[in-house]
Chain A
């Protein structure tokens, strides 16, 4: 199949979309394999290949992240860009590929952005203080099933940044809430639950992310299906932490 790609190319402070027509693509290729094919041809022509982030290519690491036709990770629901296949496009389509756009995510090159800001949020409170050593017995701390389920759903976040990219406010609240809810739902996370909510929201705000206005755009963008209820829980935890 044929596709015309419009890809954001940037090596300095500004960039532009560059058009690349591609022929002989297989519908069974992944989106990233298509970029590999493009890069091979660019290298053969002596041009600079398109820089893009990728690692596991099986949808579990959170490295890949592309804005495909204005949709984070492309048109398939609950799918990372690496797991998106060309069969979901029509032969002859024009596809625009851009990097995540947010002030705290500066573009490093082409489609690669620096997502260290998400690490700064985790450093501010996305952990528990626990004595280390040999692994505790699995049943040493009983966890109610419902709490375990909530924690697990939130822990599925791979930190790809799609929620920020899709948010009309450039907010990282879904990411922050997923981390806070993951730990805040478990017994091990209780001692630091209130300071965690305050410190993570503070870090989120200080990094220059926008505020959440409950537009809900992050939900279809999230490849791991993190629910909006996590944001409600973080809001509740933060308000409770101040009112206690």
Chain B
């Protein structure tokens, strides 16, 4: 009963948002660190991918991520609908929220979700990849980032993710009752953007080929 009452409250929903968001953030950090293996050559990153399958973390991780993404989205939609109902008549002289990151959380989340679908078709299923050979992570990545529109889509998605984290990482702490300086979220978001964008940048600049 207590748990249900907590889940039904707006504060409880924000806590769900925060916990699932932190889970997804930890995954994003781990994924980024894994990506950097590309700088050690084809053997390193292909071997890393094979090792992940060997130790059997892939499927448990997928279930965990699916749960986090599902809850994160359900609660986000519930809160967005609630917010819309709370102000049926808007202002004639409106003003947009000052924090760009805060006001793009909802649509930015949609952009990230759409990219994730493409990303899974591209590099997990391989059907949207110009090379698309299972296990040849290095070659798949290089084939992708030789196409300017793939680089563009990837960059936009990573920046959207960065903005999402810029507000989200700080907001998650606040929702869980911890007041942290906003700068922490900026540092985390910048580091994640830099890490992810280093891979397409390396391919475009010919460091990795």
Contact = CB atoms under 8 A, between A and B. Distances in A.
A114 to B, nearest CB: 14
Q: Chain A interface mostly helix, strand, loop or mixed?
A: mixed
A215 B103 contact: yes
B170 to A, nearest CB: 7
Interface stretch (A83-91, A133-141, A182-190, A204-212): A204-212
A96 interface: yes
B46 to A, nearest CB: 41
B11 interface: yes
Interface residues of A, number: 47
Contacts of B176: 235-236, 239
A228 B5 contact: no
B174 A231 contact: yes
B90 A169 contact: no
Nearest to B92: A17
A76 interface: no
Interface string A204-224: 110011111111110010000
Query: Which of the listed residues A96, A234, A235 has the most CB atoms from chain B within 10 Å of its own CB?
Result: A235
Interface stretch (A27-35, A38-46, A99-107): A99-107
Contact of A238 (B12, B83, B102, B178): B12
A6 B93 CA distance: 10
Contact of A101 (B91, B99, B178): B91
Interface string B88-111: 111111110111001101000000
- The residue in B11, B14, B176, B179 that gathers the most chain A C-beta atoms within 10 A of its C-beta is B11
B45 interface: no
Contacts of A201: 9-11
A67 interface: yes
A208 B10 CA distance: 11
A125 interface: no
A69 B91 CA distance: 9
Interface in B41-77: none
A233 interface: yes
A171 interface: yes
Interface string B152-181: 000000000000000100110011111100
B121 interface: no
Contacts of B88: 103
A216 B99 contact: yes
A170 interface: yes
Contacts of A110: none
Given A98-B93, A215-B103, A236 B82 contact: no
A154 interface: no
Contacts of A240: 177
Interface in B99-150: 99, 102-103, 105
Given A70-B93, A201-B11, A202-B9, A235 B177 contact: yes
A71 interface: yes
A240 B178 CA distance: 12
Interface in A1-54: 6, 8, 17
B171 A229 contact: no
A210 B87 contact: yes
B28 interface: no
Contact of B10 (A211, A216, A217): A211
Nearest to B79: A211
Nearest to B11: A238
B99 to A, nearest CB: 6
Contacts of A6: 92-93
A211 B13 contact: yes
Interface in B9-47: 9-15
B204 to A, nearest CB: 36
A211 B9 CA distance: 9
**For A168, A211, A232, which residue has the most chain B Cβ atoms within 10 angstroms?**
A211
A145 interface: no
B28 to A, nearest CB: 20
Contacts of B207: none
7 contacts: A70-B93, A98-B91, A168-B83, A210-B10, A213-B79, A215-B99, A232-B178
